[in-house]
Amino acid sequence: MFMRRLFLLLVVSAAFTLLASAGHAQPVGTDLLVSHSNGNLVRLAPSGTVTPIGNFSSSYLNMITMDTDNYHVIGLASGASGWQVVRIDPVAAAVRATVWSGSPFQYTLSWVDVDQDGDYVVSQNGSSSIAANFFKVKRDGSGAAIAFAGQTGQSFNAFSLDRTSGDWLLGDFTSKSIVRVDGNTGAVTRIIPLGTTGLQGMVQDPQQPEVYVASSTVVSYHPMTHAVTTVSTGLSSNSITSDRAPAPSGALIHLGLTSGMIQRVSRTGTNLGAVGNSGSNAFGVVFDRSRNLASELAKAPRQWNIRISFPGDAGRAYVLAFSYSGYTPGLPLPDGRVVPLVLDTLALLTARGAVPPFLTHNVGVLNASGSAVAVLDLNAIPVQGIRLWAAALSIDPAAPLGISQISAPILLVL
């Protein structure tokens, strides 16, 4: 109890000294961006209103994710020139860059996310003659390589990073199992059968270890106990995401259905109703501006820019803290929210402010776009295999406990 109170005191006191102006916090439940099997990208408001953004593929626009700048959308597009990783401006409705196309891509690209270096990781389906592979694509377009080589007959429809260990969890649709791959060595450490459920999408809970796997049945996989539990049945889904700031009643899992409907489900499987119909088969779904915290490798091997983004909180103070003990169970707040960091000496130290020369700009004021960049530089420290978790929050004196928004945690494996 003392540690929790001290942490909050340090966070709020450090941030209040930097408050520069008023404003309004971004509410939970912002717009969803949905990609379709016909190549369209649309915006779905919480009210259910659908606004077309544009068509970005002559065929499929598969899974989408937010880029590290929390503005651009990274998508997997199929067209006459084959499969591509594209960067889309959802406001201007334009492709800003084709990050990569061609070799080593050979077949359908199904899922995309961002790794700790800010690069894009992409999964590829396989066939009887083509192997299912897992790729790392440089965010600047300078290269693409196989990070994990699968086998013919496998089909990596989706994947998730396990924030507990740093391992990659690759979902093999063909065998209906999760292939667990060591994030450092690339070795398969475990294969977890999912029973009768297929596999169309995967997402990790923003505050808990469970990874949700979606198809006609939604199951959760616990990466430490390896338990597989049925969450919900009867929803034919192609994609899945979770609310960036879950309500106290449970993470709002959002499923993109083959009908185009976006369905909401709680952690315990309670059907919370539909947001609305996106208009077509929902191949990808992500909350707009939901990547509040992201890392980009600035100088190899261990210097990162940590991008902080809290839309709607321009001019407000922010605090970024690190923990070497993990992110769960975190710090539960009296209003039901959770700060996803384990309180240890490092968390208390970094919550007070910068620790130069290793950590700078982790406490400050958000700029006019509600963003900031902290720098973690550990190149002078000869460490390897250490795991560091980070989370950030923004300060609003009018918000409960003075805390406006809380990021999901990120994991850095040194």
pLDDT at 16: 45
Q: In this structure, are 219 and 315 located in the same domain?
A: no
Residue 259 and residue 157 in one domain: yes
Same-domain pairing of 271 and 297:
no
Cα–Cα distance, 65 to 88 (Å, whole number): 10
Same domain, 150 and 261: yes
Q: What is the pLDDT, as a whole number, of residue 5?
A: 58
Q: How far apart are CA 294 and CA 408, in angstroms?
A: 10
Q: In 10 A of CB 235, how many CB atoms?
A: 18
CATH number for position 327: 2.20.130.20
Residues 6+ apart with CB under 8 A from 345: none
Give the pair of three-digit tokens for residue 157: 């429809």
- Is there a contact between 375 and 364 (Cβ–Cβ < 8 Å)? no
Same domain, 327 and 263: no
Regarding whether 90 and 6 lie in a shared domain, the answer is no
Number of domains in the chain: 2
CB atoms within 10 A of CB 143: 10
Residue 59 pLDDT:
86
The Cα–Cα gap between 401 and 331 comes to 13
Distance of alpha carbon 136 from its chain centroid, rounded? 16
**For residue 336, what are the domain limits?**
2-25+292-413
266, 287, 308: which is the final residue of a domain? 287
The whole-model pTM stands at 0.92
Tell me, yes or no, whether 236 and 99 share the same domain: yes
pLDDT value, residue 1: 58
Same domain assignment for residues 133 and 171: yes
Last-in-domain residue among 287, 311, 331: 287
Q: What's the CA gap between 58 and 67, in Å, rounded?
A: 23
Q: How far apart are CA 140 and CA 128, in angstroms?
A: 33
- In this structure, are 66 and 189 located in the same domain? yes
The CATH number assigned to the domain holding 237 equals 2.130.10.10
Q: Are residues 239 and 332 in the same domain?
A: no
Based on the domain organization, do 229 and 338 belong to the same domain?
Answer: no
Q: Write out the DSSP string of 105-159.
A: --S-EEEEEE-TTS-EEEEEB--SSSEEEEEEE-TTSS-EEEEEEEEET-BEEEE
Domain final residue pick, 287, 315, 348: 287
pLDDT values of the chain reduced to their tens digit, one per residue, 414 residues: 555 555 655 565 554 445 433 333 334 458 999 999 999 999 999 999 999 999 999 888 999 999 999 999 999 999 778 999 999 999 999 999 999 999 999 999 999 999 999 999 999 999 999 999 999 999 999 999 999 999 999 999 999 999 999 999 999 999 999 999 999 889 999 999 998 778 899 999 988 899 999 988 999 999 999 999 999 988 889 999 998 766 655 668 999 999 999 999 998 889 989 999 999 999 999 999 999 999 999 999 999 999 999 999 999 999 999 999 999 999 999 888 899 999 999 999 999 998 999 999 999 999 999 999 999 999 999 888 899 999 999 999 988 889 999 999 999 999
* 140 in the same domain as 7: no
